[in-house]
Structure 1
Amino acid sequence: MSLVDRINAAARKMPVWGLYVVGALWPAWLFYLAASGGMGAEPVKALEHELGRLALKALILGLCVTPLRAMIGLNLIRFRRAIGVLTFYFVSVHLLVWLVLDVQILSEIWKDILKRPYITIGMAAFLLMVPLAITSNNWSVRKLGPRWRKLHRLVYPIAILGGVHFVMIGKTWEKDALVYLAIILALLAWRVIQTAKKRKSREQGARVARRSVS
């Protein structure tokens, strides 16, 4: 049995709720580190940054699910919705830390959103995530039908906005932020290429069918 087969077998045995539990506790651990002095001289800023980084990693992980299955056979599809919900949770906690612990003053929050482009972009990504979080349940899948899949394609612009937001936070071009953005763009480019291949294959099939009829 290959390594991928072993991972798939282990993933089938792992309950999805286990991922939710681990994801829910992760920000709590980061809060503990910040409160106990484990995040340096500016714990609020460090906590805010780490939560944002965690959210971006989760977002990238969600984007990796389909390519990993297509390219190496690693099947994590049953966890994809949980990853998406946890991504929204991480982003929400990141936003709350900024609102409650960092800025604190309501009037300053609005000024920051309007005057700082990276905050404007981050807020745009968060707002686009809200309908995805609300509809991440079986009832919405049944109710929306094919529209559910179209709605959840918003994850692609969300990923770009999240990557750009993370790059813009730094005063300089930080290497890790650029790596995250590059990974996001590569994953989206893979999807564009696969969609183009499928369209071309369908068109070729249609041409062959027309020729056989004629």
Structure 2
Amino acid sequence: MSHNARSASQSSTATLTTPPRSGGDNTAGTLLHRWILWFILATPAVAWTIGWFGNQTLQYAEHAVHPTGVIAGILVIVALFATPWRQLVRNRYGALWLARHRRHIGVASFGYALLHTWFYLLETESVPSILTDLYRFDMVTGWIALLLFLPVAMTSNTPSVHTLGQRWKSVQRLTYAASIIGFIHILSLNGWSNPWEALIVASPLLVLEAWRVRRFLSTR
């Protein structure tokens, strides 16, 4: 490979793997699109929260635990989907838009994880029951995933990118660990009896990550 071709290849790879500077583009159109995205992302959470304050029953909390957890899982999968999808299709088929907004989607995922945890605490009702649940594998994996997700969400903003420098990417990579443990949390619920929902939701990301690994190994 010639020097110019190698440089072009490296430039293309850097363009695909460097996080977009979504915080630096504050044109009116971009801000409008961002507010519309946040309106869509926040609407179910606001509806559930208003519903709780208007109802405040154990049954309401029980019914809200599962869907809030599912939305948290779907959103983090969509956020993680951005990089391999952009590598596969370059900037086509919505890949550039997804890459620009993956931080917002990831933060929304953490918000739904918090809402999921809140409804779980309301459903459980008592501190002794919560402490007893900590000995359950499916519960402890959920708490670990949430704690790993916390620094990722707290640093998913432009000031943190500038403050942390190269360390910012290391913090953000905790998303992978949190997602894997969260995936195990979902699989292990109800005694591992119904893993299909989690597998179906995660299957696009699993396929693309397998493609990334194969691509990486083939270039070594």
Bin for the TM-score computed over the shorter chain:
0.7 to 0.9
- Paired residue for 1:111? 132
Q: Tell me how far apart the structure 2 counterparts of residues 97 and 144 of structure 1 sit (CA, whole Å).
A: 33
Shift in Å, 1:23: 1.4
Structure 1 pair 183–36 and aligned structure 2 pair: CA distance change class (3 A): farther
- Paired residue for 1:96? 118
Is 1:158–2:158 an aligned residue pair? Answer: no
> 1:46 is aligned with what amino acid?
H
> 1:27 is aligned with what amino acid?
A
For residues 1-214 of structure 1, the aligned pairs below 5 Å read 15-30=33-48, 42-72=59-89, 73=92, 74-75=95-96, 76-99=98-121, 101-113=122-134, 115-171=135-191, 172-197=193-218, 200=220
Give the TM-score normalised by the residue count of structure 1. Answer: 0.75
> 2:45 is aligned with what amino acid?
P
Give the TM-score normalised by the residue count of structure 2. Answer: 0.73
- Paired residue for 1:210? none
| 1:58-90 deviation per Cα after TM superposition (whole angstroms, max 9, x unaligned) | 011011112222223232211111011101000
Structure 1 pair 138–194 and aligned structure 2 pair: CA distance change class (3 A): farther
> 2:80 is aligned with what amino acid?
L
SS state at 1:15 partner: helix
Q: Tell me how far apart the structure 2 counterparts of residues 24 and 194 of structure 1 sit (CA, whole Å).
A: 36
Structure 1 pair 44–126 and aligned structure 2 pair: CA distance change class (3 A): same
Q: Contact conserved, 2:113 with 2:146, CA < 8 A, in 1?
A: yes
| 1:81-108 deviation per Cα after TM superposition (whole angstroms, max 9, x unaligned) | 1011101000000001111x21121222
Q: Contact conserved, 1:160 with 1:181, CA < 8 A, in 2?
A: no
- Paired residue for 2:13? none
SS state at 2:47 partner: helix
> 1:85 is aligned with what amino acid?
V
Query: CA RMSD, aligned part only?
Result: 2.6
Q: Contact conserved, 1:62 with 1:83, CA < 8 A, in 2?
A: yes
> 1:109 is aligned with what amino acid?
I
| 1:148-179 deviation per Cα after TM superposition (whole angstroms, max 9, x unaligned) | 01211111111111111111113413421232
Shift in Å, 1:195: 4.1
> 1:170 is aligned with what amino acid?
N
> 2:103 is aligned with what amino acid?
R
Q: Contact conserved, 1:55 with 1:87, CA < 8 A, in 2?
A: yes
SS state at 2:194 partner: coil
Q: Tell me how far apart the structure 2 counterparts of residues 191 and 158 of structure 1 sit (CA, whole Å).
A: 19
Structure 1 pair 16–194 and aligned structure 2 pair: CA distance change class (3 A): farther
Q: Contact conserved, 2:77 with 2:202, CA < 8 A, in 1?
A: no
Q: Alignment identity in percent?
A: 29
Structure 1 pair 52–29 and aligned structure 2 pair: CA distance change class (3 A): same
Shift in Å, 1:133: 1.0
Structure 1 pair 12–193 and aligned structure 2 pair: CA distance change class (3 A): farther
Q: Aligned residue pairs: how many? A: 184
Q: Contact conserved, 1:51 with 1:90, CA < 8 A, in 2?
A: yes
Q: Tell me how far apart the structure 2 counterparts of residues 57 and 158 of structure 1 sit (CA, whole Å).
A: 14
Unaligned stretches of 5+ residues in structure 2: 1-28
Query: Larger RCO: Structure 1 or Structure 2 (Cα < 8 Å, ≥ 6 residues apart)?
Result: 2
Shift in Å, 1:20: 1.6
Structure 1 pair 156–188 and aligned structure 2 pair: CA distance change class (3 A): farther
